[in-house]
């Protein structure tokens, strides 16, 4: 059933100007974060944000898509609402089936939505493929529509993100995905590269986990102590230090030899290294030490 609504009635008084009424209407949209207008997309956002009726919102988002009303936003917002209702598989199929109706500028954002959906429902292989595709776009200069920065949004606030920051973020997500596949050596390679591009305490803790999975406890301890001693960006946040301290306690209880059975094959590592090396050459004229370390890993696996 189509949702209907009406905006709060405005009291009129003799001599009240249209500007005052316009301001009141604008305040309603700002407070509730609802766009102006009366098309199906606006009604969908009203159902989602004001009426708190996600099922009605999905119906109206579908109507907006079919009517060609702000399709870029309608498809993305509908997928987000579906995810909240644990209709993740349906959301994935919707994005994949109707993204052709969206603008070129919206494709990158839709990729991010898909990555989040894949992660939600455990489709790790597809998540990895899409993350690697996004990295290739960066290598080829196709990300951000050729610009050096893009505008991102988090918790209703806009901010600028550089290609360097985006690359590190994608690598961090890729490292997490390889962790789920128990490909800890590849995850380590990816996390180390991410830290060299744009380090932060969260990826540092994840790197420590990779090292712990490989029974390389001394290296993991060193990484965690850097977070605890606030030597890593973001470690001023007490939550990051608390996580590092918890991992350190867990580390102390770890025993057992390294498990080589879950290490990823040589070909995949070489492919990843070659791509990362290509990107790194765009930023620095010199090969960084991490690639020497990775080359040593390749040589060891080849023996």
Contact 135, 153 (CB under 8 A): no
Query: Please, are residues 189 and 269 in contact by the beta-carbon 8 Å criterion?
Result: yes
Distance CA 103, CA 99 (A): 8
Tell me the backbone φ, ψ of residue 60, rounded to 5 degrees.
-75, -30
Instruction: Give burial (CB, 10 Å; 0-12/13-18/19+) of 193.
Output: buried
pLDDT digits (tens, 9 = 90+) for 177-188: 999 999 999 999
Summarised one tens digit per residue, pLDDT across range 50-84 is 999 999 999 999 999 999 999 999 999 999 999 99
Q: Which residues, including other chains, have CB under 8 Å from residue 107's CB and lie 6 or more apart?
A: 99
Distance between CA atoms of 32 and 50, rounded to whole angstroms?
7
Interatomic CA distance for residues 277 and 291, integer angstroms? 8
Separation between Cα atoms, residue 171 and residue 175, nearest integer Å: 6
Span 135-191, pLDDT tens digits = 998 888 888 777 788 877 766 677 788 889 999 999 999 999 999 999 999 999 999
CA distances in angstroms from 128 to 78, 159, 214, listed in the order given: 23, 26, 21
Spatial CB neighbours of 207, under 8 Å, sequence gap ≥ 6? 175, 188, 191, 192, 195, 223
DSSP 244: H
By percentage, how much of the chain surpasses pLDDT 70? 71
Residue 236 per-residue DSSP state: T
The distance of Cα 250 from the centroid of its chain, to the nearest Å, equals 27
The answer to whether the predicted template modeling score (pTM) of the entire model surpasses 0.75 is no
Q: What token pair was written down for 141?
A: 């200069």
Phi then psi for residue 141, to 5 deg, are 75, 20
Q: What pLDDT shows up at residue 140?
A: 85
From CA 51, how far away is CA 44, in angstroms rounded? Answer: 10
């Amino acid at each position: 059933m189509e949702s209907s609504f009406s905006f709060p009635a405005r009291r009129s008084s003799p001599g009240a100007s249209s500007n005052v009424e316009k301001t009141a209407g604008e305040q309603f949209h700002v407070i509730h974060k609802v766009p102006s207008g009366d098309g199906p997309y606006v009604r969908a956002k009203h159902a989602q944000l004001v009426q708190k009726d996600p099922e009605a919102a999905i119906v109206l988002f579908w109507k907006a898509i079919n009517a060609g009303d702000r399709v870029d936003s309608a498809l993305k917002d509908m997928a987000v609402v579906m995810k909240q209702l644990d209709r993740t598989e349906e959301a994935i199929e919707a994005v994949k089936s109707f993204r052709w109706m969206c603008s070129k500028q919206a494709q990158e954002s839709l990729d991010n939505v898909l990555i989040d959906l894949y992660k939600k429902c455990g489709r790790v292989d597809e998540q990895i493929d899409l993350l690697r595709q996004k990295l290739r776009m960066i290598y080829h200069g196709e990300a951000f529509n050729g610009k050096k920065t893009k505008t991102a949004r988090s918790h209703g606030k806009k901010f600028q993100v550089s290609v360097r920051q985006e690359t590190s973020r994608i690598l961090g997500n890729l490292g997490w995905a390889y962790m789920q596949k128990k490909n800890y050596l590849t995850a380590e390679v990816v996390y180390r590269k991410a830290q060299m591009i744009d380090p932060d305490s969260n990826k540092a803790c994840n790197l420590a986990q990779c090292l712990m999975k490989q029974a390389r406890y001394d290296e993991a301890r060193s990484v965690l102590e850097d977070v605890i001693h606030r030597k890593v960006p973001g470690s001023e946040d007490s939550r990051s230090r608390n996580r590092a301290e918890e991992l350190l306690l867990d580390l102390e209880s770890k025993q057992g030899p390294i498990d080589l059975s879950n290490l990823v094959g040589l070909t995949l590592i070489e492919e990843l290294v070659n791509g990362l090396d290509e990107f790194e050459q765009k930023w620095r004229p010199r090969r960084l030490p991490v690639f020497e370390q990775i080359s040593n890993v390749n040589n060891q696996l080849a023996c």
